Structure 1
Amino acid sequence: MPHLLQLDSSADLQNSVSRSLTGLFADTWRSLGDEHTVLVRDLHRSPLPHLPDAGLHYAARLRTSTERPDPDAEALQAELIAEVTNADVLVVGAPMYNWSLPSTLKAWIDYIHVLGTTVPFDTPDRPFAGKPVVIVSSRGNTYAPGTPGEGTDSVIPPLQQTLGTSLGMSVSVVTAELTLAERIPPLAPLAGQAAESLAAAQDMVRALATKLGS
């Protein structure tokens, strides 16, 4: 059964663009057939505790004698890793907050990025290699090439590094820009561009869900 893991991290529960896009991805996924299942982990509604012990960065066999994580924290880590393992595809809502990603999403990454377990260290094992992950990032301004914001996006590059380069997942990126065009007067002249960006993101989300779920 094709299985999707949907992760949301936006603090906006009413008008979130990233939530609307991950939801559209999930709806498109479900429309492909009753066998297409979805697990939603809402990192804002049910935030993970920030990593309580540095030993959780490592597989148990690689920890020092003084690194003894709490068993409950180890169990939570195992649960989160299992959710990724059991998913055929991931869609990750990653809105830009102050030029970076929400801390709730960063906490999730810290739990699943584990040397010697999900990341090669003393063995070449990389269990998530090739697993498709779609990053859906909304941002209030524009960070496209040639704009003043070019080069200041600190959301997509670290996600590509951790999920793609390090964990070996197959990363696709969907962005919706200028989401604050209707709220911030200086951006108002770009409202048309914002609408085009959102429409393009919606089309891309539908296409990726259909492709990856077929």
Structure 2
Amino acid sequence: MPALLHIDTSVDGERSRTRRLTAALADAWRARGPEYTVVARDLHLDPPPVMTASAQHWPERLRGGELLEAGVAAAQAAAIDELLAADAVVIGVPMYNYAMPATLKAWIDLVHVPGVTAPFDVDAQPLAGRAAVLIGARGGSDEDGGFAHALGSLELTLREGFGMDTRVVTTSRTLAHRVPELGPQLAADEFEAASARARALGASL
């Protein structure tokens, strides 16, 4: 059965634009039939451990005898297994201080393992060709090109490291209700266009 891994990271709960957009994609995925399943992972409510040892970055055969704390090893194995079981992935990526959420970076540090999920001493790329959708949102406008900065390293990891077929959907001006000069109508129009794009991807990935 085709499985979608649905990852959310926003701290804003129901107000979150990224959560609403990832949900729109997941709903469209489910609407394709009962065989289209979704596994939800909320990194805000269940944050992964941050990297505290270089051993986490390597498979056991390349650690040079360095030990990985048992709880971290278990979390890493579970995160990698969950990712590898997915046929497609959608990730909500709100911009916080011009960067991805810290919980998402911690998740990437768990699942990006050279020689396991990305090439190093072997040509490991088990996720190659699978679809990944990044759903980005930011409070201001994107006239400064900030999305390229905030999403760039994540897109690079998925596309180049994992070999995934990566798409990006973005919406901005999410603070228009607090900063009217951002343009509430522009914000609404952007969000509706992003919603339509997310639904289309969920129906076609």
Query: Would you call these one fold, judging by a TM-score over 0.5?
Result: yes
Q: Secondary structure at the match of 2:15?
A: coil
Counterparts of 1:20-99 in structure 2 under 5 Å? 20-65=20-65, 67-99=66-98
Which residue of structure 2 lines up, in the alignment, with residue 111 of structure 1? 110
Q: 4+ residue runs of structure 1 moved beyond 6 angstroms?
A: none
Which residue of structure 2 lines up, in the alignment, with residue 210 of structure 1? 203
Q: Secondary structure at the match of 1:14?
A: helix
Q: Does residue 1:142 correspond to 2:134, yes or no?
A: no
In 2, Cα distance between equivalents of 1:115 and 1:100: 23
Q: State whether residues 101 and 154 of structure 1, in contact with CA within 8 Å, keep that contact through their aligned partners in structure 2.
A: no
Unaligned runs of 5+ in 2: none
Aligned residues: 205
Q: TM-score, normalised by structure 1?
A: 0.92
Unaligned runs of 5+ in 1: none
Say what the alpha-carbon RMSD is for the aligned residues: 1.2
Which residue of structure 1 lines up, in the alignment, with residue 181 of structure 2? 186
Pairwise CA distance, 1:165:
1.3
Q: Deviations over 1:67-115 (max 9, x none)?
A: 2001221121111011111101100000000111000000000000001
In 1, Cα distance between equivalents of 2:153 and 2:118: 16
Which residue of structure 2 lines up, in the alignment, with residue 170 of structure 1? 165
Q: Secondary structure at the match of 2:116?
A: coil
Which residue of structure 2 lines up, in the alignment, with residue 123 of structure 1? 122
Which residue of structure 1 lines up, in the alignment, with residue 193 of structure 2? 200
In 1, Cα distance between equivalents of 2:118 and 2:148: 25
In 2, Cα distance between equivalents of 1:156 and 1:50: 19
